[in-house]
């Protein structure tokens, strides 16, 4: 208790320095006065007494200093002195300082950049209330084997009314809408949501309010209620200059006046994109953030039980768990299956919303975090061995200071101050590097990583960096201090004049261990990078089934009110057919356009699926999974260089009046007509029987790493669509040169139509493997850095050892050892270190290879080629790094060395 | 200063201060006076060591200080022994006795 009080007093004295000084002065003055009075009492004159008192007291300053010392004040001043001393030492050896600072900057910079991404994506607080209680309600289809289907509206209503484990349930569907009324028509990323959805998530509006339960359109374009919208934050800022006055105003959505009731924060759409990706099929949602939230109150009339457009979210009731909710909804689903013919084979699949949102990005982020941690380890090992070597060369100074009475604590403080200085400078440089690295990371990363755009060097990230720095500084500061303990003056004075001390066995062993661990960590990184790079090569080597080079992709959305698809006259839609024909004619006339075609989906989009039946094999067809349904115009196969394998292509004659025809892909032909009799057979989907006229090659529309599903391609004229993808093959290597012409052509036909998704198909194709490419690139970068650092480490340790062994080597050569033998001994030392490192690294890589499971394609995660090639390469480079010190060893002059002894 | 007056032995000052304060709380000057008087003017406490020692003991928690009024109402910093200090004094006394008797024995040996 008393000790604590004492400590507290000491701290307070340090903190409130003036107060303590004043108290001390008062106390001393009091003392002198008493001494004077005592002298007067003994009969001295006042002057004499005063003089004697001061004399007796001695130097006031000297003892004030001692009192301050007792107070602990000098610790602070000494630290300042230590820092200044450290600075002078560093300035005297700039190469060493720069090496250490750069190394640290790499380690801390890479860590900080990756951590800032991890923090933004995974760690920062959720925008939602109790995010752990949110679940996705998927429907399943045992027939097609799909487990992530959006729900039908009547099913959602049944779930909502019967479930006790879900306290709320709400739905989302992508909205293809165009905003007009302010200059160019614009397609805005939008969502139809049930009025309760944002409240269910627990989102607070930035301005205005959320939807009321009685608001919203019925949802189908033809049945309109009062249209209300909430504006997304990003759109609000870019289009309305963040003016809160937007609330209450009317905007024109798809030609419909729509009242804005509120503004939702940017974070409110967290997970929407991932949900769309997760879905086996879903209405499109394009863009990074929701620009408009539109309230929808669906009806069973507009959305019957056989249509499945609604991505559905639920909130678990307080006493429910994911498992109990799954049981209950599974039972409800089974009831519905018995009750309704259209629900045959249907079930329910619940997933945690967080898992859907972050499930696919967690593994790569954890992998990267692991990689930068290894890199930091290499960095630390490198810096530690640099510092150790330097301490040894400073042995003379250290031993002298110890002999002059500097205690181990004092020396420890000195070393700590020095490494603090180094680490502070290194971390500052590292944070600078992290800033650049983070920018690059955000740019290179695929856009579907949730919240990555929020990554920044913010408080928590900087705190993490500071924590790392403190840890590193502490470790590095103490290491040399421990080493210095072992130094004795006598030993020192016996050492040669080189100012260097033969390091103790312990220190030497520590340095070797550091180098071995550096090599091991580097090998682990290189192996990981190797497997990922091989994966990337495999992915790049996959034939996507089409040629994307020189192809431009442009997407358009025709407004439903002026380009209707009426089921009464299906498939005749003269407005759409007319638009399609005029557009193709106009763009084909653009100079530099070799060919042009329209499709519903670009060859990189998986599009939608539908149930189908092979005429004459209806019984069997009921058990078939749904088939991918796609649509194209004549010219598609030429534009994309998709081969026609059998039969004929569709042509201009296959219009709404002609007999319905269809193309199928090789996957469908092989699966359903293995005997090669596809052409001429009939299949039925969308309620229309179509004759198969041709078989075409497989397009990898589900991504290059996934097998191609069976697909049918109907002519656009016989399956009209308001969603269009225009594909142009250009003569020029840069297909974007045609964009201006297309814009002009579209404006000439209908100025109300917005273009979006304008990009070279090659860019889209390359974006489709953005994630594996980024993984491979980053891992390679970290691995190369680690190898570089490890080489520096090996080189440094060997050089040091050569210098240390110079007398011995000189003696051996004087006694007749050949230069080759000397060189061999140094080289074998280096190779021994490298082999130990490689061995441990390989074992580590093998043990950690399961981390790669989620990332490999076409290669084993323990890819033998990588596991053999990497160690050999690392051994070779390490051998190369030990060559210069080995050569230096042979140049040791025996005479000089012996004389120095 | 008479040359015959020994400086307080290094390390014993703490003991002397604790002992002086064990009788009653007093200010720094009082401590010095007390030691000098009781030792019959043999031990002169060097003031230059007294105050650092007082502060050191305070930070160790063996003595506590507070400002108070002394005779004729002057402000002075009074030091008193804490319970920890009292225990410490006992320990130091025991050590000192052992030590001095050991010295005595050596010196008495013929």
Q: Classify A511 as helix, strand or coil.
A: helix
Q: Would the pLDDT of A219 be above 70?
A: no
The 3-state DSSP class for residue A405 equals coil
Max mean pLDDT among A94-98, A322-326, A767-771 falls in A322-326
A-chain residue closest to B46, CA distance: A57
- Residue A430: its pLDDT value, please? 92
Which residue among B48, B76, B82 places its CB closest to the CB of A63? B48
Q: What was the pLDDT predicted at B1? A: 37
Question: Which residues in chain B are closer than 8 Å to A26, comparing Cβ atoms?
Answer: 75, 77
d(CA A250, CA A226): 12
> In chain A, pLDDT over 70 holds for what percent of residues?
89
Give chain A's mean pLDDT: 85
Whether A769 contacts A855, CB under 8 Å: no
Interface test with A, best of B5, B59, B64 (most A CBs within 10 A): B59
Contact yes or no for B61 and A72 at CB 8 A: no
Q: Is the confidence at residue A74, as pLDDT, over 60?
A: no
Tokens of A482: 């421990």
A8, A15, A26, A30: best mutation site toward chain B, by most B Cβ within 10 Å?
A30
pLDDT > 90: what percent of chain B?
3
Cβ contact (<8 Å) for B52 and A56? no
Q: Is the pLDDT of residue A205 over 90?
A: yes
Q: Which of A6, A26, A34 comes nearest B61 by C-beta?
A: A6
Contact call for A69 and B52, based on CB within 8 A: yes
Least confident of A296-305, A311-320, A478-487, A491-500: A491-500
Task: Classify burial at B69, counting beta carbons within 10 Å of its beta carbon; exposed 0-12, middle 13-18, buried 19 or more.
Answer: exposed
Strand A711-715 and strand A627-632: the pairing is parallel
Q: Is the dihedral of CA A231, A236, A242, A247 positive or negative?
A: negative
Interface residues on A facing B, Cβ-Cβ cutoff 8 A: 1-7, 9-10, 23-24, 26-28, 30-31, 34-35, 38, 56-59, 62-63, 66-67, 69-72
In A700-818, where does DSSP find H-type helix? 739-749, 761-768, 770-814
CB of A744 within 8 A of CB of A725? Answer: no
- Range ranked top by mean pLDDT from A163-167, A563-567, A700-704: A163-167
Q: Is the pLDDT of residue A501 over 70?
A: no
The dihedral built from the CA positions of residue A853, A855, A856 and A862, taken in this order, carries a sign that is negative
pLDDT at B23 over 70: yes
Q: Are B29 and A59 an interchain contact pair (Cβ–Cβ within 8 Å)?
A: no
Integer Cα distance of A377 and A111 in angstroms:
11
Give the helix/strand (H/E) hosting A674: none
From the list A604, A44, A656, A134, the residue with the least C-alpha distance to A358 is: A134
Q: Region A402-413: what's the mean pLDDT?
A: 67
Is the bond preceding residue A877 a cis peptide, omega within 30 degrees? no
Task: Kindly list the residues from chain A whose CB atom is less than 8 angstroms away from the CB atom of residue B52.
Answer: 63, 66-67, 69-70
Quote the pLDDT of residue A111.
Answer: 92
| Closest among A789, A886, A865 to A382, alpha carbons compared | A789
pLDDT one-digit tens code per residue, A517-559:
889 999 999 999 999 999 888 888 888 999 999 999 999 988 8
Do strands A682-685 and A146-149 pair parallel, antiparallel, or not at all (unpaired)?
unpaired
Torsion-angle region of residue A260: left (phi > 0), alpha (psi -120 to 50) or beta? Answer: beta
Interface test with B, best of A7, A61, A70, A72 (most B CBs within 10 A): A70
CB A128 within 8 A of CB A358: no
Share of chain A above pLDDT 90, in %: 36
SS3 (DSSP) at A688: strand
B88 inside 8 A of chain A by CB: no
Distance from CA of A56 to the nearest CA of B (A): 8
Place B5 in a pLDDT band, splitting at 50, 70 and 90.
very low
Q: Positive or negative CA dihedral for B34, B39, B41, B42?
A: negative
What are the phi and psi torsion angles at A186 (to 5°)? -135, 135
Instruction: Choose the closest CB to B61 out of A5, A63, A67.
Output: A5
Say whether B47 and A6 touch across the interface (CB within 8 A).
no
Q: Chain-centre distance of CA A421, in angstroms?
A: 32
- List, for residues A557-584, the tens digit of each pLDDT value: 888 778 888 877 888 889 999 999 999 9
Q: CA angle, corner A5, sides to A4 and A11, nearest 5?
A: 90
| Residue, of A410 and A686, whose pLDDT is higher | A686
Residues in chain A within 8 Å Cβ distance of B77:
23, 26-27, 30
pLDDT of A589 over the 80 cut: yes
Tokens of A88: 């002078």
Res A760: pLDDT: 93
DSSP string, A237-265: HHHHTT-GGGTT-EEEETTEEEEEEEEE-
Identify the pLDDT of residue B69: 76
Domains of chain B with CATH codes? 13-108 (1.10.10.10)
> How many Å apart are CA A35 and CA A56, to the nearest integer?
9
Measured in degrees and rounded to the nearest 5, phi and psi for residue A300 equal: -70, -25
Contacts of B27 in chain A (CB under 8 A): 27, 30-31
A–B interface: beta-carbon pairs under 8 A: 80
In B11-50, the residues whose Cβ lies within 8 Å of chain A are: 27-29, 33, 46-49
Say if residue A223's pLDDT is above 60. no
Question: Is a pLDDT exceeding 90 seen at residue A588?
Answer: yes
Q: How far is CA A598 from CA A175, A664, A714, A727, in A?
A: 21, 17, 12, 6
Chain A residues close to B56, C-beta within 8 Å: 70
The residue behind tokens 């653009």 is A590
B59 touches chain A (CB under 8 A): yes
What is the band of A59 on the pLDDT scale with cuts at 50, 70, 90?
low
Phi, psi values for residue A416, rounded to 5° = -60, -45
Of B69, B80, B86, nearest to B26 by C-alpha is B80
Greatest alpha-carbon pair distance for chain B in Å reads 57
DSSP-based helix, strand, coil % in chain B, nearest 5: 60, 15, 25
- Partnered with residue A146 across adjacent β-strands are A141
pLDDT band for B4, please (50, 70, 90 cuts).
very low
How much is the pLDDT for A496?
45
pLDDT at site A382: 85
Cis bond leading into A571, ω under 30°? yes
Contact A175, A294 (CB under 8 A): yes
Note whether A154 and A305 are within 8 A (CB).
yes
Give me the pLDDT at residue A506, please: 67
CA pair distance A787, A794, nearest whole angstrom: 10
Smallest CA–CA distance from A67 into chain B, residue: B52
C-alpha span between A55 and A49 (Å, rounded):
10
In chain A, what residues touch B62 (CB-CB under 8 Å)? 2, 6
Higher pLDDT, A634 or A49: A634
Task: State yes or no: pLDDT of A153 exceeds 80.
Answer: yes
Q: What DSSP designation does A559 have?
A: -
Is pLDDT above 50 for A487?
Answer: yes
Structure tokens at B65: 């200080």
| Contact yes or no for A35/B81 (Cβ under 8 A) | no
- The Cα A514–Cα A526 span in angstroms is 18
Cα-based angle A304, A306, A312 (whole degrees, multiple of 5): 80
- Cα gap A515→A670, rounded to integer Å: 57
Q: Tokens 């120095």 identify what position?
A: A900
> A193 near A171, Cβ under 8 Å?
yes
Calpha distance A476→A107 (Å, rounded): 14
Q: Tell me the C-alpha distance between A266 and A232, whole Å.
A: 6
What is the distance in angstroms between the Cα of B84 and the nearest Cα belonging to chain A?
6
A147 contacts A278 by C-beta, under 8 angstroms: no
pLDDT of residue B6: 47
C-alpha distances in angstroms, A785 versus A58, A97, A110, A235, A489?
63, 19, 10, 41, 40
State yes or no: pLDDT of A410 exceeds 70: no
Which stretch of A329-338, A627-636, A762-771 has the lowest confidence by average pLDDT?
A762-771
Beta carbons of B83 and B16 less than 8 angstroms apart: no
pLDDT tens figures, B88-98: 899 888 888 88
Residue pair A661/A691 in contact (Cβ under 8 Å)? The answer is: yes
Chain A within 8 Å of B56 (Cβ-Cβ)? yes
Q: What is the pLDDT of residues A591-613, one digit of tens each?
A: 999 999 999 998 888 777 778 89
- Work out the pLDDT band at A614, boundaries 50, 70, 90: very high
Residue B48 pLDDT exceeds 90: no
Show residues of chain A in contact with B74, CB under 8 Å.
Answer: 30
Chain B residues touching A35 at Cβ < 8 A? 29
pLDDT of residue A885: 85
- Distance between CA B92 and CA B86 in Å, rounded? 10
Handedness of CA A353, A354, A355, A358 (dihedral sign): positive
User: By CA distance, what is B44's nearest residue in A?
Assistant: A56
**Band of residue A671 on the pLDDT scale cut at 50, 70, 90:** very high
Query: How far B55 CA lies from chain A's nearest CA (Å)?
Result: 6
Whether pLDDT at A230 is above 90? yes
Whether chain A has a CB inside 8 Å of the CB on B68: the answer is no
- Decide if A70 and B59 are in contact by the 8 Å CB cutoff: yes
pLDDT at A64 over 90: no
Q: Which of A415-419, A625-629, A648-652 has the lowest mean pLDDT?
A: A415-419
| DSSP designation for A151 | B
* Per-residue pLDDT tens over the stretch A803-827: 777 778 888 888 888 888 888 888 8
Average pLDDT of span A844-867: 87
**B58 interaction partners in chain A (CB closer than 8 Å):** 6, 9
pLDDT > 70? residue A101: yes
| Residue A389 DSSP SS3 | helix
Q: What are the residue boundaries of the structural domains of chain A, listed by start?
A: 2-71, 95-125+361-503, 144-344, 504-542+765-901, 563-751
H helices of A673-760, in order, are: 739-749
pLDDT band at A408 (very low <50, low <70, confident <90, very high): low
């Amino acid at each position: 208790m008393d000790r604590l009080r004492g400590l507290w007093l000491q701290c307070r004295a340090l903190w409130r320095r003036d107060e303590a000084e004043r108290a001390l002065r008062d106390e001393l003055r009091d003392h002198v006065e008493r001494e004077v009075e005592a002298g007067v009492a003994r009969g001295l004159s006042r002057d004499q007494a005063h003089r004697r008192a001061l004399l007796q007291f001695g130097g006031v300053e000297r003892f004030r200093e001692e009192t301050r010392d007792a107070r602990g004040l000098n610790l602070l001043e000494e630290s300042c002195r230590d820092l200044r001393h450290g600075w002078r030492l560093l300035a005297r050896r700039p190469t060493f300082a720069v090496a250490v600072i750069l190394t640290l900057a790499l380690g801390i910079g890479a860590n900080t950049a990756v951590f800032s991404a991890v923090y933004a994506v995974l760690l920062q607080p959720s925008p939602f209330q109790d995010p752990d209680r949110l679940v996705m309600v998927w429907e399943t289809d045992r027939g097609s084997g799909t487990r992530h289907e959006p729900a039908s509206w009547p099913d959602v209503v049944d779930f909502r009314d019967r479930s006790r484990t879900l306290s709320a349930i709400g739905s989302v569907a992508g909205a293809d809408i165009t905003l007009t009324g302010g200059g160019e028509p614009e397609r805005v990323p939008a969502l139809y949501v049930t009025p309760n959805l944002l409240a269910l998530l627990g989102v607070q509006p930035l301005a205005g309010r959320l939807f009321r339960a009685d608001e919203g359109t019925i949802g189908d374009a033809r049945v309109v209620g009062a249209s209300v919208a909430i504006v997304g934050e990003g759109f609000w800022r870019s289009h309305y200059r963040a003016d809160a006055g937007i609330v209450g105003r009317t905007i024109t959505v798809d030609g419909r006046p729509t009242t804005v009731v509120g503004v939702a924060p940017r974070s409110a759409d967290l997970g929407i994109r991932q949900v769309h990706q997760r879905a086996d099929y879903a209405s499109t949602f394009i863009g990074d953030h929701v620009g408009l939230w539109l309230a929808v109150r669906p009806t069973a009339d507009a959305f019957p039980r056989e249509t499945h457009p609604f991505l559905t979210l639920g909130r678990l009731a307080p006493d429910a768990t994911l498992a109990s909710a799954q049981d209950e909804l599974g039972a409800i689903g089974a009831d519905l299956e018995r009750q309704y013919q259209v629900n045959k084979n249907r079930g329910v699949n619940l997933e945690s919303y967080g898992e859907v949102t972050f499930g696919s990005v967690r593994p790569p982020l954890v992998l990267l975090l692991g990689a930068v941690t290894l890199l930091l380890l290499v960095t630390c090992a490198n810096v530690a061995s640099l510092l150790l070597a330097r301490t040894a060369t400073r042995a003379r100074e250290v031993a002298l200071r110890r002999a002059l009475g500097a205690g181990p604590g004092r020396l420890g403080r000195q070393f700590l101050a020095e490494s603090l200085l180094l680490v502070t400078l290194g971390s500052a440089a590292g944070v600078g590097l992290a800033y650049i690295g983070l920018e690059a990371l955000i740019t290179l990363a695929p856009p579907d990583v949730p919240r990555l755009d929020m990554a920044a060097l913010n408080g928590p990230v900087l705190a993490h960096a500071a924590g790392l720095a403190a840890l590193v500084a502490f470790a590095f500061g103490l290491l040399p201090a421990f080493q210095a303990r072992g130094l004795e003056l006598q030993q020192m004075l016996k050492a040669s004049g080189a100012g260097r001390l033969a390091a103790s066995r312990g220190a030497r062993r520590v340095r070797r261990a550091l180098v071995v661990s550096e090599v091991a960590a580097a090998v682990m990184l290189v192996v990981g990078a190797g497997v990922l790079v091989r994966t990337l090569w495999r992915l790049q080597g996959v034939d996507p089934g089409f040629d994307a080079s020189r192809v431009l992709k442009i997407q358009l959305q025709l407004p439903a009110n002026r380009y209707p698809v009426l089921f009464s006259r299906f498939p005749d839609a003269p407005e759409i057919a007319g638009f399609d024909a005029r557009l193709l004619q106009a763009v084909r006339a653009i100079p530099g356009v070799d060919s042009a075609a329209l499709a519903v989906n670009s060859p990189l989009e998986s599009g939608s699926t539908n149930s189908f039946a092979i005429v004459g094999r209806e019984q069997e067809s009921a058990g078939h999974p749904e088939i991918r349904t796609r649509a194209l115009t004549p010219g598609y196969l030429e534009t994309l260089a998709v081969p026609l394998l059998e039969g004929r292509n569709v042509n201009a004659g296959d219009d709404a009046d002609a007999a319905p025809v269809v193309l199928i892909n090789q996957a469908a032909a092989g699966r359903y007509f293995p005997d090669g009799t596809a052409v001429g057979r009939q299949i039925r989907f969308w309620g229309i029987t179509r004759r198969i006229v041709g078989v075409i090659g497989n397009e990898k529309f589900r991504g290059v790493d996934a097998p191609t599903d069976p697909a049918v391609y109907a002519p656009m004229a016989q399956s009209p669509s308001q969603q269009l993808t225009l594909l142009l093959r250009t003569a020029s290597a840069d297909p974007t040169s045609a964009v201006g012409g297309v814009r002009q052509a579209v404006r000439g036909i209908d100025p109300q139509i917005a273009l979006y998704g304008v990009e070279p198909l090659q860019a889209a194709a390359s974006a489709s493997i953005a994630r594996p490419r980024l993984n491979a690139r980053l891992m390679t970068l970290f691995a190369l850095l680690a190898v570089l650092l490890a080489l520096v480490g090996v080189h440094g340790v060997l050089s040091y050892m050569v210098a240390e062994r110079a007398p011995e080597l000189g003696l051996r050569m004087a006694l007749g050892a050949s230069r080759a033998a000397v060189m061999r001994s140094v080289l074998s030392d280096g190779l021994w270190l490298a082999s130990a490192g490689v061995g441990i690294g390989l074992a580590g890589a093998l043990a950690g290879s399961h981390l790669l499971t989620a990332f490999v394609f076409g290669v084993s995660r323990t890819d033998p080629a990588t596991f053999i090639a990497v160690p050999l390469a690392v051994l070779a480079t390490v051998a190369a790094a030990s060559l210069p010190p080995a050569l230096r060893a042979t140049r040791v002059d025996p005479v000089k060395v012996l004389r120095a002894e | 200063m008479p040359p015959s007056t020994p400086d307080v032995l290094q390390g014993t000052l703490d003991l002397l201060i604790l002992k002086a304060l064990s009788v009653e709380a007093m200010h720094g000057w009082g401590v010095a006076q007390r030691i000098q008087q009781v030792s019959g003017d043999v031990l002169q406490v060097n003031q230059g060591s007294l105050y650092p020692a007082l502060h050191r003991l305070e930070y160790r928690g063996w003595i506590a200080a507070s400002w108070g009024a002394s005779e004729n109402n002057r402000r002075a910093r009074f030091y008193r022994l804490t319970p920890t200090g009292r225990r410490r004094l006992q320990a130091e006394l025991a050590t000192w006795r052992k030590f001095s008797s050991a010295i005595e024995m050596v010196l008495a040996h013929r």
